[in-house]
Every structure is written in structure tokens, then in C-alpha cells.
Amino acid sequence: MKRACAVILMLMVSACAFPQSKIKKLYERADSILRVKYERVTYDTQYISRPDKRFLLRVRGNLSGNSIRYKNVQDGNDMHAHLSTDLRGTISLGASYMGIAASFSINPAKQKGSSKDYEFNASASSNRYIIELGYQRTNTLAGDITTPTRSSHIDKEYLKMKMLNITGCYIFNHRRFSYPAAFSQSYIQKHSAGSWLAGLSFLGGSINTTEEAPPESLELHIKVRSVAIGGGYGYNLVHRKWLFHLSLLPTIVVYNYSDVTIGGKNVHEYTHFPDMIVNCRAAIVYNISPRFFVGTTAIVNSSVFGNFNHYTSQTRWRTRAFFGLRL
């Protein structure tokens, strides 16, 4: 501990002793590199433009949830499960400078100690590509499970879920269609345009009964690993100061490993055509003025494996309402 404190103290002293002129030169150099990248025109300026202001401040209210369904009907031996998490609400504050953004979120329920859930979302996007990552760890998963011999209600804290969603997307008409205009406001869509999309999806996670579960509860263990590829379409509709976005990216599973154990009965799952992971995005943005804007966005990741009598589905969604200011 003393050694760590000494190192921190030395770094602080070094930073204070570092010539201000060199710090200024480093800042100017970094700013110049960002400026060149920000002002580079790789798009049709009749359809897309950059905001006049380089700073962007934004306040967002976020709401998210997750639900899972399982059904297995074989010779009258029906097994069903319907589970869902608590709604998770957060407030986030964010800032960006020439397209480089950072934000932090506050969960009011967590501040009160009533929520132990953890969620992390990250994205990188341009007019050419989208990469989105979402990780969720929760103990609020609850619902009903039914087997041929009994039914059981699983309360919160008795199941632990870890789930990771990754989506990558290539935008073909990136010169006229801007995804960031709808979701990060780092570009402005001036006229309506659409684009075909090519995408890759990954879903991985687990659900396990915790030690806190009572002995009479049905034991549940689920493992999922899936990779899917596909294509879709997105469109930005511009009407005066309004921007409406809608895109759909269905992907077909090319690799799937799923293992389900309910009440001691194990069912190993393999890929069935057409197992799918579907990504849907929607947004509405209203530009009050060149400096102020408001809007809302929604992202839904849904997966369906199996057929009508034997399937597993998972739906994770997130919606946001925001107010922004350009400086």
C-alpha cells in the first residue's frame, strides 16, 4: 500500500513538473489529428453533414429489460419456462468532442441498495459500420417453470444470469445513409436515404440456480453460445426538423451450442434451420435548433432457436430518451 501511494505521489509530482509548453503542444497535436479525422469528407454532402459545433452534451434516461422463454413438447412430456428480469432504469450524462464520446450512468435503485444488477453497453459506429456490445449480469430473473411432474415459481435472487450480446454491421450506402445521425447525433442527415446492411451477431451466456434457492425449487441451468450472419435494411426518413430511423437486421445462426437442464433433466440443443438472431433499431430525433435536440431510441436483440414445439427464445431491449446541446 505504501509503495502504491509513493508511485502515485511520484506521478503527481512529475505531472506538475512537466513543462506546460509541452503539455500544450501535445494537446494541440492530438486536437489537430482529431480535427483532420472529423473534417474528412467521405460522404455525399447533399445527404450528410457534420454539426457546426464540435462539443456535444447529452442527458439520457434509459430503460432496459430481458426475458427468456423455453418450450419442449415431446410425447406429452411438456416442459415450459418463462423468465424475465426487473426493469432497469438509469440516468446518464455524456459528452463528446469531435466524435469521441464518454458517459456515466446512475441507477437510482442501486443507490438505494434495492438493485444489485450490473449492465454495460458500448458501441462504436461510423457511416460505414456499427459495433455494439451489451453485457448484463442480474439476480432479478424470476418466473414460472413447469415440467411433466410439477410446477414451480422462481423468485428473485434464486437465479443468476450472465448474458453477452455483440452485433457488427456493415452499411453499404454509407455515403448517403448515416446511422450516427440517428443514434449519436455526431452527423446530421439532411435528406432521406436508406441502405442495405450486412451483419454478424453473437449471443453467449448462462443462467444458473443460486445457493439461495430453496430445496423445493426446480433446479435450472442454461448455457448458450451462438454465432449468426445475415443481412437487412435501414432507412432514415427526414421531414423538416424530424429524423425517423428504422432498421431490421435478421441473422441466421451458423453455430449454436445450447445446453438446458430443468429439474435434473438435460436437453442438449444443436443448430436447427432457421435459428435466428434478429436486431431491430428505431429512433426519433427532433432538432429544436442547430444547437438543441431531443429524441428517443430503441434497440431490441431477439433470438429464436428451435421450432414451434421445441424452442428457446431470448429478448433483450433498451430504450432511451435524451436531450442534447451542441457547443
pLDDT in tens, 34-93: 777 777 888 999 999 998 888 999 999 999 999 988 887 766 667 788 889 988 888 999
**Integer Cα distance of 54 and 96 in angstroms:** 8
| The predicted structure's pLDDT at residue 210 | 84
Contact 93, 103 (CB under 8 A): yes
Q: Domains in the chain and their CATH numbers?
A: 17-326 (2.40.128)
| Residue 114 confidence (pLDDT) | 57
Q: Give the 3-state secondary structure of residue 37.
A: helix
Cα end-to-end distance, the chain, whole Å: 43
Q: How far apart are the C-alpha atoms of 147 and 260, rounded to whole Å?
A: 13
State the pLDDT at residue 230: 97
Angle at 315 between CA 310 and CA 319, to 5 degrees: 165
Res 19: pLDDT? 64
Cβ distance 74 to 310 under 8 Å? yes
Contact yes or no for 164/134 (Cβ under 8 A): yes
Amino acid at site 310: H
- Quote the mean pLDDT of the chain: 84
- Which spans in 52-178 are helix H? 108-111
Nearest to 80 by CA among 260, 241, 239: 260
Specify the 3-state DSSP secondary structure of 13: helix
Q: pTM of the full predicted structure?
A: 0.84
DSSP letter assigned to residue 114: -
Report the sign of the C-alpha dihedral through residues 90, 91, 97, 102, in that order. Answer: negative
CB 148 within 8 A of CB 179: no
pLDDT tens per residue, the chain (327 residues)?
445 445 445 545 555 555 666 677 676 677 677 777 777 888 999 999 998 888 999 999 999 999 988 887 766 667 788 889 988 888 999 888 887 787 777 877 665 655 677 888 888 888 999 999 989 898 888 888 887 777 888 888 888 999 999 999 999 999 999 999 999 998 999 999 999 999 999 999 898 888 887 877 778 888 888 999 999 999 999 999 999 999 999 999 998 887 777 767 776 666 677 889 999 999 999 999 989 999 999 999 999 887 777 778 889 999 999 999 998
